[in-house]
Amino acid sequence: MRYILSAIFVFLQTYTFAQDTPEYVPYRLGNKWGYADREQKIVISTDFDETRPFSEGLACVKIGTQYGYINLKQIVKTDIKYYYAAQFRQGVAKVWFNGLYGLVDKEGKEIVPPQYDDISFFSESIAKVTLRGKHGFVNLQGNQIIPLQYDNATPFQEGLAAVCMGKFWGFIDSTNREAIKLKFDFALPFREGMAAVKRHTKWGFINAKDELLVQYKYDAIESFFEGWARVERQDKWGFVNKKGEEIPPTFDAAISFSEGMAAVSKNGKWGYINSEGTLALPIKFEWAGSFKNGLAKVKLGNDWGYINPKGEEVIPIRYTALGNFYEGLADIEIAGKAGFTDRFGNIVIYAKYDNVSNFEGGLAKVVKNGKTGYIDRKGREYFKD
């Protein structure tokens, strides 16, 4: 293994690449992987068993069953020793070694040696860590800023984290100061200045001053979105605002507000209401999703499409499967094969793949003839058998 790594390191150090082409794409040649530029020219030799897209200037590579990282200068930054390695976010990446999770920085240093049963995503530059059933928090420098003393916890949001010790939940700040006393039977993170809390069998809402603004009267509850929170009472769903005013729980199901509208269900069909509680689009769909950037995914009969807030079909309701939009493209299925459509209903990447992932950073992972590879938004394939 040392010889292999040394050879790769020497190769990466000496390989000449175009300085004006900073973006490299994972490229598969047969069963081996390397990197190509945007013109599909190999710039890092296919000596790896897997390569992944660059993120924050580093990329995860695999040799055998183990992972490590290289940078844009094509220098190996960490040992190829991890059995799981995530993309870099905010200058750190989560790794797994010998059954435990740690963090590495962009210089390849283990700022948190693998020692935790789990590490959550970073929220407000703080991540929850778990070990033997206890929860604490670390910062982006790898320092444990809150000890492993809680029996449960949520990520930080709006400066506070919900934590549980024994039977009761409350809220702490990033210095581990008890901002709101641990007295609730359950608590959700703050959102839009409010947090859902439970006392005995009912839910209500408090603000950051621990003032109860929405009374304990709901059987289930969700956080606020656009000034309204989804609530359940007696097996029916509705919404409540921060003043405690309701769109009465009369629906069989509901989805949170997005872009001024919420999907609601009655008698197995879905439609949309506005923030005044008035029916905005008829309850006629087999399923209806949230609006995002002016479009919502709906199902009519056995087929899927996208509508605008007027109920007009923008992506025709004709697809047997249809994904969500990422970077302006959504995956579609035609005759058992997958491709992509744009927001205007144009099929921009022909449906010829066995399976596809969402676009991220201009790339999507696809499966063709049982083998994986990457494509860009123009449909160019970065693989060759």
pLDDT tens-digit series, residues 286-339: 999 999 999 999 999 999 999 999 999 999 999 999 999 999 999 999 999 999
* pTM, full prediction: 0.88
Residue 23's pLDDT is 82
What CATH number is given for 117-178 in this structure? 2.40.10
One-letter amino acid at 45 equals: S
Residue 214's pLDDT is 97
> What are the sequence ranges of the domains in the chain?
1-116, 117-178
Residue 9's pLDDT is 36
Distance separating alpha carbons of residues 364 and 166, to the nearest angstrom: 45
Residue 2's pLDDT is 35
Residue 75's pLDDT is 80
Q: Which residues of the chain have pLDDT under 70?
A: 1-22
Q: Across-strand partners of 59? A: 70
Residue 77's pLDDT is 83
At 4, which helix (H) or strand (E)?
helix 2-14
Selection from 332, 257, 341, 253 nearest residue 291 by Cα: 257
Residue 78's pLDDT is 86
Q: Which residues contact 82 (CB under 8 A, 6 or more apart)?
A: 66, 67, 68, 95, 96, 97
